[in-house]
Amino acid sequence: MPDYQIVVCGSVVPDPLQTLEPVSGPTGPALKNEMMLPAWLDPWAGHALYEAAHLASHNPGSKVWLVALGPKAKLQQVMMTLAQKAPFELIALDGSASGFTDATETAGAIAEAIQAIPGIDRTRLLVFGGWESASRGAGATMQIVGELLGITDQFQGVDGVGIGVDGSLRILERIEGGRHQVSICEAPPVVLGWATGDLPEPRNNPQVGMANMRTIMPALQKAKPTKVGAEGVKFLSVSLPKQARDTKIVKDLTPDQIAAEIVEWIANK
Amino acid sequence: MERPRMDADIVCVGFGPASGGFLTTLSRAILNPDGSTAIESPSVPGLPLQVLCYERASDLGFGVSGVVTRARGLRESFPDLDPAQIPMAAPVASEKFLYLLDPVGASRRPALMRLADVAIRALGGILRVEDDAMELPWTPDFLEKHDGLVLSIGQFNQWVGQQVMGVAQIWPGSPVEEIVVEDGGVAGIRLVDQGVAKEGKPSDGFLPGMEVRSALTVVADGPVGPIGRQLDKEFGVPDGHQTHDWALGMKFVVDLPETCELEPGTVIHTLGYPEPEIFGFFYVHPNRVASMGIFVPSWFDNPARTAYRYLQHWMLHPAIWRHVKGGRLRSWGAKSLQESGRRGEPRLVGKGYARIGEGSGSTNVLTNSGVDEAWTTGVLLAEGVLDLLKQKKPFTEENLESAYVRRRRESWVDKEGRIAEHARDGFQRGIIPGLAGMMVAGLTKGVVGMPGKPMPPHQRVPSLEDYYRGRIAPEEIQAIRKESEAKGISVHAALMERAGWPAIPLDGELLVSHQDALLIGGKVHAPPGYADHVEFLYPRECESCGSKICIEMCSGQAIFPGENGRPAFDREKCVYCGACLWNCAKSNPQDPKKSLIEFHAGAGGLHSAEN
């Protein structure tokens, strides 16, 4: 069985249950009360992490790292919950994780951190991440990370990866029409930008949490300050999709009635 | 599937101010200044003392409340405390009490209060009556918080969590199901099972809750936590112990309008409106944000009592509305408060366990203070635990009694708690005896008080028909009841409007429907794979209940009329306030001291750390 080195790139985003409001801060655009908003691991990166942990658990000798670039205090907060989900070693970079960063600068810092992992071996290296982000959404960061690491086998919108008897990787990539393109990649290194995969969020496991925490706190303490704010860039305007709430309680409607009501609601907007 | 097990040295149940005080004090002693181990772990030799804290909510500081506190205990722990380092914290700048008159004519005021209202209005020019409110000329010393802090406990808890993490491990999203009882003591805890269906049966991804063994279990799960109740059941309670006094605190966190001139640190207390039994609070944080809300006490004998609707009427009072009109709802939450104070003190220690915080009876019901007291009980326990660890003494009941309970008895928390013990008894007989009793108890240092016997709801709350006698005919109440059951909604809105309360002019910004408050302010979250934590033990008994206070008082409309009028529970709306635990109008057939509702450990709830 192959023993992989799986590096997951993922950071924090504001809890999707929160109300987000862009404001102009002293260093450019920001979210109102950003440091007070609860945070969570970017859901796309979350899928990548859970897939990585699953792959590692089925391939003894494999190891998972999580390279996370975000405000140190927020990373610490998120780790308290995330650390119980899957075994990993954290590599923390202390910088902005807002929606107003530059994908190239972010990717540069991440690639540098990956290259600095002691004992990293390109022949065993799988670089995972989200193909999208809940806060940045450039869709480019993982591709640039791959380029900077010189990894040419890159796949985006990945929903599954299987290991062949010859050690090759069988990768499912989303394509138009709700279908998957199947690619066979002979061997690592490879970059996989995950879509959703098909694994549920793992249950909290206190033993995993205790083991992770022994490396998480030292990693946070030595987190390197990292600038990814695209200094000098001027944002001409920032907006969020307008929210509309129209709550009512109805019972026993048929699916057709519900659909008709939604169509009518949309038509009137 | 076999239940997994692991060992630690100290396990803490719940992360609030009490655990904050405990972990802050303990964590400072576990490591030396150079980072080396000062106290080695007996369970994992070679490592520092292994201290774990399991918190039910999805993150630190979720689902708690904003306060004004004198912060005596907090400042002892942090002598150089700079409020600017804690988001939403501000030193108290001014404090006043407002007596609110009734601007709509629907409030049920006793005759004496109505007479007083007439006199106040007549003498308005002399008494400085403005916006239907009179500022009380004097605030008793025992109520003053002038040297304290306005805090968001959510933000404060997160700040404390950041200080102690690394030395202690705090794990949110980890409800504790029960204690492990062994050899007449507590040997650890068991976390809730995951991957179960709503009725608790194993389902997809079933993972039995981990058993965590520890030499000491610190129980700080607050007033409605199931572990405290389990301890009471297993090991009994002291003579005279009672926990019938409660209140539900419900609040909004509001972005104040640009026109609001209130300074950060402004504290306003109110009484008199929307009902005489309901008290209000208004605390101004930095950056034009305020925490504002009401307390609905258990001695408010309205079977259709509701915090949300009354909170909106309170906010619309001219004396409050002038400050918030044009503002915007930012967050919302609710929390039960154990108001029996020291009389609700359980057995504080036993073999392998100790109790701290609100659930240990630390709240002072005379000074209306709980956070500072809870924090201090945690500090006192940590000091005692460190003594025992240094002396290599086991956590027996006798040793904990000597190391912790003795400290607590000598502390200001206990001394002031004794003064407050009977301060609120008068409220059992009404608002006026209550206020008089509190004043007398405060001025005489607890020597004199007004008598009154706290009772559970089934012994004191009248039927809807009796409560609305003379205002709404029984036939009309029955019709409203039936119509509401058919719609699956509570009855209080229809009854209140029929009794003269105006409709709420919803504006979608500050005045929003109860359901929208769940979305806009509460951000309620129910992670999958956990069982329902509210259980109706005798559904047939519930069918015959004419009041169903559990439905009316539910903060998130998570309890609603279900099949055959039985209350039903929707976990996805529960904010975990625990009001259902003490708002049941029926006694338990097997234990008359209890109700028909069980409130188990559960995951999720509010998703906001601004409360």
pLDDT tens-place string over residues B487-529:
889 999 999 999 999 999 999 899 999 988 887 766 788 899 9
Q: What is the mean pLDDT of residues B125-141?
A: 89
What is B5-79+154-242+342-419's CATH number, 3.20.20.60, 3.30.70.20, 3.40.50.2300, 3.50.50.60?
A: 3.50.50.60
The answer to whether A242 contacts chain B (CB < 8 Å) is: no
B159: pLDDT strictly greater than 70:
yes
Percent of chain B's residues with pLDDT above 90: 81
Residue B266 has pLDDT above 90, yes or no: yes
**A30-48 tens-digit pLDDT:** 777 777 888 889 999 999 9
The beta-carbon neighbor of A206 closest among B62, B212, B523 is: B212
Tell me: pLDDT of B298 over 90. Answer: yes
Asked if the model's pLDDT at residue A145 lies above 70, the reply is yes
Residue A212 touches chain B, beta carbons under 8 Å: no
Name the residue ranges covered by the structural domains of chain B. 5-79+154-242+342-419, 84-151+244-338, 422-454, 459-522+530-599
Beta-bridge partner residues of B267: B95, B283
Q: Which chain A positions have a beta carbon within 8 Å of B513's beta carbon?
A: 247
Determine the average pLDDT of the residues in A14-26.
75
Q: Is the pLDDT of residue B127 over 90?
A: no
Adjacent-strand bridge partners of B151 = B67
Mutate which: A20, A37, A76, A77, vs B, most B CBs within 10 A = A77
What's the confidence (pLDDT) of residue A249?
65
Of B54, B171, B194, the CB nearest to A203: B194
Q: Which chain B residues have a beta carbon less than 8 Å from that of A207?
A: 4, 6, 210
pLDDT of A178 higher than 80 = yes
Torsion of CA B336, B339, B342, B345, to 10 degrees: -40
What pLDDT, on the 0 to 100 scale, is given for residue B147? 86
* Partner residue facing B609 (CB), from A38, A84, A213: A38
In this complex, the residue of B87, B513, B608 whose CB is nearest that of residue A35 is B87
Q: Which long-range contacts (CB under 8 A, 24 or more apart) does A197-201 make?
A: A197/A47, A197/A48, A197/A50, A197/A51, A197/A158, A197/A159, A197/A160, A198/A159, A198/A160, A199/A47, A199/A50, A199/A51, A199/A54, A200/A50, A200/B204, A200/B205, A201/A46, A201/A50, A201/A85
pLDDT at B325 over 90: yes
Mean pLDDT over B312-339 rounds to: 95
CB of A240 less than 8 A from some CB of B: no
Nearest to B6 among A35, A77, A207 (CB): A207
Highest-confidence segment of A247-261, B528-542, B580-594 = B528-542
Considering the domain A5-225 in this protein, what is its CATH number? 3.40.50.620
pLDDT at A243: 63
Q: Kindly indicate the confidence band of residue A241, based on its pLDDT and cuts at 50, 70 and 90.
A: low
Determine contact: A210 vs chain B, CB below 8 A: yes
pLDDT at B201: 94
Given CB atoms, is A77 within the 8 Å cutoff of chain B? yes
pLDDT over 70, % of chain B: 100
- Closest-CA distance of chain B to residue A255, Å: 20
B84-151+244-338 sits in which CATH class? alpha beta
Q: What is the spatial distance between Cα A45 and Cα B551, in angstroms, rounded to a whole number? A: 41
pLDDT at B419 over 70: yes
DSSP H helices, B444-596, are 457-460, 464-467, 474-487, 492-498, 514-517, 539-543, 549-553, 579-582
For range B193-201, the mean pLDDT: 94
Q: Which residues on B lie below 8 Å from A206 (Cβ)? A: 6, 52, 54, 171, 174, 191, 210, 212
Structure tokens at A189: 């290194």
Whole-number pLDDT of residue A15: 80
Neighbours of B423 (CB within 10 A): 24
In this model, does residue A20 exceed pLDDT 80? no
| Domain edges within chain A | 5-225
pTM (predicted TM-score): 0.93
- Please check the confidence at residue B217 and state whether its pLDDT lies above 90: yes
